[in-house]
């Protein structure tokens, strides 16, 4: 038989056990529900992460966004790639068009007509000097010409006088011969009639023959004297002409034209005018009024800047890549947006001992530029660079350099997979010039890519990565 208190305790214990079991069941149910909800949240986050992973590198733009961004899309394909050798360069004067002006006679500078920086044309007066040597040379030339003229007149007068003497003697001798001929004819007639003896006939015949011989002798003697005198005069004239020619040549050697030289000419007073032999710019002037100069003095330097030399420096290790006739693109520091082109006209023959470089020459016309409409804008001394095209090759896929996105993980491009949808794709490129590169890996002909303003696409992509959302 049980104790009543013990029975009550037993019932209380049973009730407590049932309550504990109910609370345990409730707690376990709650825990199970919480774990299920946590599992569902984790799966949702996982799915969203996978979706983000799938959308990484993809930029989607609406039509209006694409238009506002100004992204140019083009279809890639084959093309020509130019390989280059980039060299430092400097603009130099065309040494074939530089004139150093020197006087040909010593003298004193009395006037200066052209000054530093002025433009001159061929034949323009540069300066004037007074030269004693020129005055003496001009006077000697005038004297030589006067002696030639005098000798010519003397020769003509001697020829005329001798012709007159010969003509007069011929008439006198012919008269004597005719008279003796008449006497001889008369004696023959008288002899035939038997009126005269033989002796007068013989005398008349001898006299006739003597007169004929005398005429021949006199005329021959006069002709010989004439020829002798004229020969002497001609020799003298020839010598004077030689001296006159020498004096004219001396003036020509001094840069003076002897034609028109006379006593009133400035040349006789030693006035020596120096003219420009070519057009150009006065790049140097080394004289002042009153200064004494001679043949060793450089008065001016005139440069024809209508063309200039671009002299690039190529190291000896690069020489094997350079040939005369190769195309070269010139970029100058003074005009960063300007590209000029020409051809290699000369590779110099001597290596500079200090720099171990060889000059590579490109000749360019020096025409006005839109960016700087000054005359002769390419000025000697300007620095720049030259890109010498060393080879050409055909590439299967060419893209503009502006399409390449450079990053820490390598190069990439944005490929348009659908209208307004761009996918970032890694590529491997090989460089060229004119902002065109060859794509070796990552693209094929026919792909459409963003060719410009790729920095905007990269920026949008980066913002999306940082914000954890899609690239819209």
Mean per-residue pLDDT for 311-325? 95
Residues 355-380 have pLDDT tens digits of 999 999 999 999 999 989 999 999 99
Higher-pLDDT residue of 247 and 31 is: 247
Query: Same domain for 379 and 350?
Result: yes
Q: Please tell me the predicted confidence (pLDDT) of residue 209.
A: 93
H or E stretch at 244: helix 198-253
Spatial distance between the Cα atoms of 271 and 283, rounded to a whole number of angstroms = 26
Indicate the pLDDT class of residue 472, thresholds 50, 70 and 90.
low
- Tally of domains in the chain: 4
What is the separation, in whole angstroms, between the first and last Cα of the chain? 86
Residue 399 has pLDDT above 60, yes or no: yes
Q: Which domain holds residue 118?
A: 99-122+273-302
Work out the percent of the chain whose per-residue pLDDT is above 90. Answer: 64
The answer on 71 and 165 residing in a single domain is no
- Name the average pLDDT for the chain: 85
Provide the angle, in degrees to the nearest 10, between the axes of the packed helices 132-193 and 198-253. Answer: 170
Least confident of 29-43, 143-157, 397-411, 449-463: 29-43
Decide which of 461 and 286 is more confident.
286
Q: Band of the pLDDT at 389, cuts 50, 70, 90?
A: very high
**Within-domain flag for 27:** no
The answer on pLDDT for 192 being more than 70 is yes
User: Do 366 and 351 fall within a single domain?
Assistant: yes
CB distance 222 to 168 below 8 Å: no
5 part of a folded domain: no
Containing 160, the helix (H) or strand (E) segment is helix 132-193
Is residue 76 domain-resident? yes
Q: Do 223 and 296 lie in a common domain?
A: no
Is the pLDDT at 102 greater than 60? The verdict is yes
* DSSP bridge partners of 125: 275
C-beta separation of 299 from 287 below 8 A: yes
Same domain, 329 and 384: yes
| Residues 209 and 289 occupy one common structural domain | no
Look-up of token digits 């390449």:
404
**CATH number of the structural domain spanning residue 287:** 2.40.50.100
Same domain, 249 and 170: yes
Look up residue 18 and give its two tokens: 């049932």
Residues in the chain: 472
Is 28 contained in some domain?
Answer: no
Is 139 inside a domain boundary?
Answer: yes
For the entire predicted model, the pTM comes to 0.60
Dihedral pair phi/psi, residue 321, rounded to 5°: -95, -5
Domain presence at residue 175 = yes
Q: Domain ends where: 378, 393, 408?
A: 393
> Would residue 287 count as lying in a domain?
yes
Give yes or no: residues 235 and 140 share one domain: yes
In a domain, 25, yes or no: no
For the segment 418-435, the average pLDDT, to the nearest whole number, is 84
CA distance 74 to 447: 8
Per-residue pLDDT at 82: 84
Beta strands in 148-289 (DSSP E): 271-275, 280-285
Q: Which helix H or strand E contains 400, and what residues bound it?
A: strand 383-400
């Amino acid at each position: 038989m049980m104790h009543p208190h013990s029975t009550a305790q037993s019932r209380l214990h049973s009730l407590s056990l049932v309550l504990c079991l109910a609370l345990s069941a409730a707690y376990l149910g709650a825990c199970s529900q919480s774990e299920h909800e946590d599992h569902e949240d984790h799966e949702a986050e996982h799915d969203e992460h996978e979706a983000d992973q799938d959308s990484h590198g993809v930029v989607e733009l609406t039509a209006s966004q694409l238009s506002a961004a100004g992204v140019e899309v083009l279809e890639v394909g084959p093309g020509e790639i130019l390989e280059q050798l980039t060299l430092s360069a400097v603009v130099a004067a065309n040494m074939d068009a530089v004139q150093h002006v020197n006087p040909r006679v010593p003298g004193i500078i009395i006037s200066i007509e052209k000054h530093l920086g002025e433009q001159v044309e061929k034949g323009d007066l540069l300066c004037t000097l007074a030269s004693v040597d020129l005055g003496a040379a001009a006077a000697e030339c005038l004297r030589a010409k006067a002696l030639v003229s005098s000798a010519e007149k003397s020769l003509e007068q001697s020829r005329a006088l001798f012709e007159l003497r010969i003509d007069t003697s011929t008439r006198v001798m012919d008269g004597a011969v005719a008279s003796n001929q008449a006497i001889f004819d008369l004696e023959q007639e008288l002899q035939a009639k038997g009126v005269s003896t033989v002796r007068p006939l013989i005398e008349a015949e001898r006299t006739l023959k003597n007169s004929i011989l005398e005429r021949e002798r006199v005329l021959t003697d006069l002709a010989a004297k004439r020829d002798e005198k004229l020969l002497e005069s001609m020799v003298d004239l020839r010598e004077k002409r030689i001296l006159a020619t020498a004096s004219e040549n001396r003036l020509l050697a001094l840069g003076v034209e002897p034609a028109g030289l006379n006593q009133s000419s400035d040349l006789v007073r030693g006035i020596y005018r120096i003219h420009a032999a070519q057009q150009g710019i006065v790049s140097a002037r080394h004289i002042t009024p009153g200064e004494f100069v001679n043949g060793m003095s450089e008065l001016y330097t005139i440069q024809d800047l209508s063309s200039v030399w671009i002299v690039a420096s190529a190291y000896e290790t690069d020489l094997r890549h350079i040939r005369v006739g190769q195309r070269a693109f010139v970029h100058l520091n003074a005009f960063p947006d300007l590209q000029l082109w020409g051809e290699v006209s000369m590779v110099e023959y001597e290596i500079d001992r200090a720099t171990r470089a060889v000059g590579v020459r490109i000749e360019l016309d020096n025409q006005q530029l839109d960016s700087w409409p000054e005359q002769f804008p390419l000025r000697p001394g300007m620095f720049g660079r030259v890109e010498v095209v060393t080879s050409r090759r055909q590439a299967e896929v060419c893209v503009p350099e502006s399409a390449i996105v450079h990053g820490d993980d390598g190069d990439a491009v944005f490929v348009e997979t659908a209208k307004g949808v761009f996918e970032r794709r890694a590529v491997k490129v090989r460089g060229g010039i004119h902002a065109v590169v060859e794509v070796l890996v990552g693209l094929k002909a026919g792909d459409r890519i963003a060719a410009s303003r790729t920095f905007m696409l990269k920026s949008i992509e980066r913002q999306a990565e940082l914000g954890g959302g899609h690239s819209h």
